[in-house]
Structure 1
């Protein structure tokens, strides 16, 4: 008889938890099920066990039901407390140190925000700011980000390019953030080089300068000479930077979620999406293989256009990996320290850099997204060279064509064309008042694009304000374009004082359209379009004949298949199942309460009638269904 007792114990302890997991639709591990089973049997045994001994075995089913309900509640609580899915024995121990480190770092960041008077903005209780207070808050925000370290400095640098989201005071203040740190100790750098190169530096290079040429928070660069005499630059990632960035990105994501929930301005800016995009970009910057691909793509695109106005470094791919990047050395002076020989040379250099960037944007679809003075060298012959391809933007052909239309609409000052171009390059909401947008753009054109008006940065700032007012979303690819142009504007002002980047961009767009209207280009475009339309034109007469015949014979019909997509059917099915479960839970609960209130019926145990026993079972079933409904409602429709 021992196997009967074992089977009964297994059924009483484990079966309620397994049934509870199935009823909840939860993917729970074995250990989690066992914990829920023990809790369920303990509670049901405490509540129903004594009654079972007094009133007989007919209450056994009620005991199982209470155990099932308790196990379900335990599974939900465990899922909320440990949402990783699947408890592993002692699996949490390796992450304790990382959790404690993240908690300490989080408290450090909160303390920094408190020292700079920014803590009220985490709770959404801060009062609105006027112009003077905006300037003060911008200075405090800059100081807090600078004190936060690498990740937060880079976050501020990205925020300084979002004129469509931030007031001008913040853009101006955050643009002064500097990313300069002392060099990393040589033993730690040497360990990374040894691991990446597979050999000591003395074996790979004939010369290697241990003193870095420059050091930043992500990497530092060293001068070296290969065995064949080629002079190169070795870019080495700072030791421990990945772990620090991952920890800080987690904090940035948590702060973004908090602000989006608690603060109206956080919701209006879409901070969660911005934080996710920033995290992706920064993690790509930490992978030097991405930078190597970017460098190759930009240089090859320039070669395909036969453009040698800008010099690019040559990658040494066999010596590069995700943490070390080796490239040819270009001798020159950083543009921030160089001065052109004459104003004419300065204007020519500025035009060369602007044309190179616009060609990358409009023709190549891959462009240098961070052309600040430190990333541009002035060579002895006066030509520029581009460095550091960790931040590169990419545009598809459709977005490039739409951007050209936007530049042309700005050049013509046409509010109708500007409205169409703006709606084409932005992500529009479901409903947008195009007439009101067109009137607002008409006022914008009259103020900034009329005769005698000189285009300036305020023009694009006003345009971005319109974008935010009408809830149009600038795609990340387009934001990278304006970030690059805004960065290049400051760079070109150093080269040629008074250089008008917007006026030059308008002229560039007009010249590009003029080149497209040349006879050779028109013939090529027409030929490509005809080749694409030729298969459709071949099938068109046959299809028209079929439609005409069906119409003549009265057989023409329109067949519309509702819910033909399996995903739509799945969503509708899940929604109906939720509604049905909710209805059944309410129905069983009401019926059970009614049976308990009327009592009576044949006496099944001393002091308990049949109607009462059924009522208790219905209440347990109702609670289980309601718990299932509440749990499912916290999960999105698939």
Structure 2
């Protein structure tokens, strides 16, 4: 058999064994291909070194062995062990530099490559837009930012498209974390956009209907009623004569939003890793919540469900003064919404003299009564009540449109919100402060100076009581909470933001309208709805059932404790390290520390024995103690490698 073939077979056998043992020793999914290649390379490079060592040890010379086979076998075992240790070292280093990843589905690889390309292209567009508006040129001033920065940021967001406009609109409601200048600027963001051609819109509608338009609609107006970055609206008439509107999503809107959200989530994660303010703000969680909400807005089935939910809530109200358009579910899809047309004039186009003063006050009073009841009593409300979403009909009623954002306020918050409104109406700063502290815990586990908070709230209530209409109590409360570092529940923050927006909408019809005063006057009646005899009876029934069950179990628990005390078996269990996973983690740490200590001891002992020149001679130049030191050093090296692999594996999991 040729020598090269023997060498190849031995090398392959060594690579197979070394790979298998390495994977078992490291206890990690090291790639087979990588391990085999490393083993072959190390084996090939070690042959000249092994021959040199055998000659220096007078074990082999001139093509023959100089000692007996037992010694030769022992030397070969030691050399193979050290070569194997080198293989493991190289594998660990390579895993540290370039971790092994499983083979990926080619289709997934292609999709991810396309996403990376789209993301890179979008990154470039965003950078160009930011540079065009000079966002990188503004220098810090004494207040921390340039005076021109808020307006420049708004201009850049408007140009960047729907995702950034929506992000700005969301940030404009975070008065608890952003300065007033940014809030004011971001509140001007609009969703108006250039309409897509009718041919493109018609194709999108036909694709959603899965049939020609004339099989569903008697007519469709080719000129859009409104156009935004995500969708545009066309008026139409059904075959039965019903007048409707078609809200059709732009064909490329979803793809752009998907790419933008991917970018935002990555930027938020990077900011949270690098900056303290992003960690305090919870940037990653905020980005994830924003992405979830925006994806829901892209699914018009969610908007249809919101519409029906709000319609049902208003139908159960005592002051059902608001109209909600009907949704045609059989014609609506995830990308298209067909609704009953809301005839009338949006509040955004009204002038103060559109109605007689008495009639105008009657209209806005009905809106306030209904919205406050929806929020505080029902817990379901329209969360985007800007002037374009509120329609005044010819019959002097009000219709709401666009239900992409509907707020839901849980009953536990409503039970505190209603008394808060009563306390504000009664100028009771003590009760208002207590309720605020129940609703809003301190940020980041901090504390709050209750006296200072009560003073701030009392000052607001006094100003509202004696200067009605001059200050929005909800905006002022948000500012006080931000200044005192109190974390407001997102649902309650949405309520305050909605009411602030509603006040601006109603003042288009009645300038200087005191929405807060009207709402606070309704607060006692709303509080009574929450504490109706039926609700109180049901609450008492539920609570009494819980208390009764706890009392029923109490004697047995007391008896068990006293029996344990009498028997001397009473014990207290500490929950720390109670779970199996926690105990395994501690066991692994202790095992690795022990292995490291033993490994270091073996390496140190092996070194001192290896350099010693005592003991019986195995060969002409090698003493038994030196050989034993090499063996101990090899064992210590393997233990250290295993400990190093375990630490590296834990760090990879923590990531």
Fold-level similarity (TM above 0.5): yes
Q: Is the 8 A contact 1:12 1:64 kept in 2?
A: no
Residue of structure 2 equivalent to 1:599: 610
Residue of structure 1 equivalent to 2:481: 467
Equivalent-residue separation in structure 2 for 1:185 and 1:559 (angstroms): 77
Would you say 1:19 and 2:24 are equivalent positions? yes
Equivalent-residue separation in structure 1 for 2:427 and 2:103 (angstroms): 60
Q: 1:532 aligns with which of 532, 538, 542?
A: 542
SS in 1 for 2:348: coil
Q: 1:65 aligns with which of 85, 100, 111?
A: 85
TM-score (norm 1): 0.86
Residue of structure 1 equivalent to 2:315: 303
1:421 deviates by 1.9
Residue of structure 2 equivalent to 1:409: 423
Larger Rg: 2
Equivalent-residue separation in structure 2 for 1:317 and 1:288 (angstroms): 11
1:115 deviates by 3.8
Residue of structure 1 equivalent to 2:174: 162
Equivalent-residue separation in structure 2 for 1:615 and 1:190 (angstroms): 78
SS in 2 for 1:92: helix
Equivalent-residue separation in structure 2 for 1:536 and 1:168 (angstroms): 47
Equivalent-residue separation in structure 1 for 2:94 and 2:359 (angstroms): 75
Q: Is the 8 A contact 1:456 1:502 kept in 2?
A: no
Q: 2:143 aligns with which of 122, 130, 135?
A: 130
Equivalent-residue separation in structure 2 for 1:312 and 1:365 (angstroms): 17
1:495 deviates by 2.1
Equivalent-residue separation in structure 1 for 2:251 and 2:441 (angstroms): 40
Would you say 1:367 and 2:378 are equivalent positions? no
SS in 2 for 1:178: coil
SS in 1 for 2:424: helix
Residue of structure 1 equivalent to 2:62: none
Residue of structure 2 equivalent to 1:622: 640
Equivalent-residue separation in structure 2 for 1:397 and 1:529 (angstroms): 12
Q: Is the 8 A contact 2:11 2:40 kept in 1?
A: no
Would you say 1:221 and 2:225 are equivalent positions? no
Equivalent-residue separation in structure 1 for 2:590 and 2:304 (angstroms): 54
Change (3 A) 1:105 1:539: closer
1:90 deviates by 7.3
Q: Which runs of 5+ in 2 are unaligned?
A: 55-75
Q: Is the 8 A contact 2:472 2:516 kept in 1?
A: no
Change (3 A) 1:551 1:257: closer
Would you say 1:103 and 2:116 are equivalent positions? no
Q: 1:289 aligns with which of 301, 320, 326?
A: 301
Equivalent-residue separation in structure 2 for 1:331 and 1:286 (angstroms): 25
Residue of structure 2 equivalent to 1:350: 364
Residue of structure 2 equivalent to 1:571: 582
SS in 2 for 1:380: coil
1:232 deviates by 1.4
Q: 1:448 aligns with which of 457, 460, 466?
A: 460
Change (3 A) 1:548 1:272: closer
Equivalent-residue separation in structure 1 for 2:546 and 2:281 (angstroms): 45
Change (3 A) 1:525 1:58: same
Residue of structure 1 equivalent to 2:190: 178
Equivalent-residue separation in structure 1 for 2:645 and 2:17 (angstroms): 21
The number of residue pairs the alignment matches comes to 615
Change (3 A) 1:534 1:421: closer
What are the superposed Cα offsets for residues 126-166 of structure 1, whole Å, 9 maximum, x if unpaired? 746528x5532111211221221111111111111111111
1:267 deviates by 3.9
Residue of structure 2 equivalent to 1:44: 42
SS in 1 for 2:219: strand
**CA RMSD in angstroms, aligned pairs only:** 3.5
Equivalent-residue separation in structure 2 for 1:610 and 1:381 (angstroms): 103
SS in 2 for 1:147: helix
Change (3 A) 1:58 1:604: farther
Q: Is the 8 A contact 1:409 1:415 kept in 2?
A: yes
Residue of structure 2 equivalent to 1:341: 355
What are the superposed Cα offsets for residues 554-603 of structure 1, whole Å, 9 maximum, x if unpaired? 7599664433996x442353255235425533552454245225524778
Change (3 A) 1:530 1:401: closer
> Aligned runs of 1:310-325 on 2, under 5 Å?
310-325=322-337
Q: Is the 8 A contact 2:375 2:495 kept in 1?
A: yes
Q: Is the 8 A contact 1:16 1:37 kept in 2?
A: no
Q: Is the 8 A contact 1:415 1:441 kept in 2?
A: no
Q: 2:595 aligns with which of 581, 584, 607?
A: 584
Equivalent-residue separation in structure 2 for 1:409 and 1:612 (angstroms): 83
1:552 deviates by 8.7
Equivalent-residue separation in structure 1 for 2:232 and 2:297 (angstroms): 14
Q: Which runs of 5+ in 1 are unaligned?
A: none
Q: 1:478 aligns with which of 487, 492, 508?
A: 492
Q: Is the 8 A contact 2:373 2:526 kept in 1?
A: no
SS in 1 for 2:653: coil
1:227 deviates by 2.1
Bigger shift: residues 109-118 or 456-465: 456-465
What are the superposed Cα offsets for residues 423-460 of structure 1, whole Å, 9 maximum, x if unpaired? 332354574435x1x11222203422226354755754
Residue of structure 2 equivalent to 1:513: 527
Equivalent-residue separation in structure 1 for 2:580 and 2:86 (angstroms): 35
1:373 deviates by 1.3
Equivalent-residue separation in structure 2 for 1:328 and 1:558 (angstroms): 70
Equivalent-residue separation in structure 1 for 2:643 and 2:585 (angstroms): 15
Q: Is the 8 A contact 1:118 1:141 kept in 2?
A: yes
Q: Is the 8 A contact 1:447 1:453 kept in 2?
A: no
Equivalent-residue separation in structure 2 for 1:355 and 1:301 (angstroms): 14
Residue of structure 1 equivalent to 2:401: 387
Residue of structure 2 equivalent to 1:114: 131
Q: Is the 8 A contact 1:310 1:384 kept in 2?
A: yes
Change (3 A) 1:366 1:536: closer
Equivalent-residue separation in structure 2 for 1:476 and 1:236 (angstroms): 30
Q: Is the 8 A contact 2:469 2:512 kept in 1?
A: no
1:44 deviates by 3.1
Equivalent-residue separation in structure 1 for 2:355 and 2:192 (angstroms): 29
SS in 2 for 1:234: strand
